[in-house]
Amino acid sequence: MYTNIRKIGGNVLLAICDVEILGKTLREGKIVFCVKEDFYKGARVNVEEAMSLIKNSNIVNMVGRNVVKKAIEKGYVHPEAVLNIEGIPHAQIVKL
């Protein structure tokens, strides 16, 4: 998967996506979700490395079956908080 870390003020924003959906546009009803390279493409890591980055991030934006499934397994994301767009799960984490 790809991970992209940005520091915004005192916050750390982590974007994670599964490799196979980078650059795709997902559509469902009125939702149009672009998995943009300039937002998501950064270091290519395995799923465990991606999960370890969540610990030090204030905001996490993730899209893809593999990353969201693992985030649910690790307890970072509640299954009911996942939005499916064209069958691809998307979730966000915000730590206040």
What is the pLDDT, as a whole number, of residue 73? 97
Give me the residue spans of the domains in the chain: 2-94
pLDDT in tens, 2-33: 999 999 999 999 999 999 999 999 999 999 99
pLDDT in tens, 56-89: 999 999 999 999 999 999 999 999 999 999 999 9
Domain 2-94 sits in CATH at: 3.30.1860.10
H helices then E strands: how many in the chain?
A: 3, 8
Q: Are strands 11-17 and 31-34 parallel, antiparallel or unpaired?
A: unpaired
* CB 18, CB 66: distance < 8 Å: yes
Per-residue pLDDT for 53 more than 90?
Answer: yes
Cβ of 63: how many Cβ atoms within 10 Å? 25
| pLDDT band per the 50, 70, 90 thresholds, residue 96 | confident
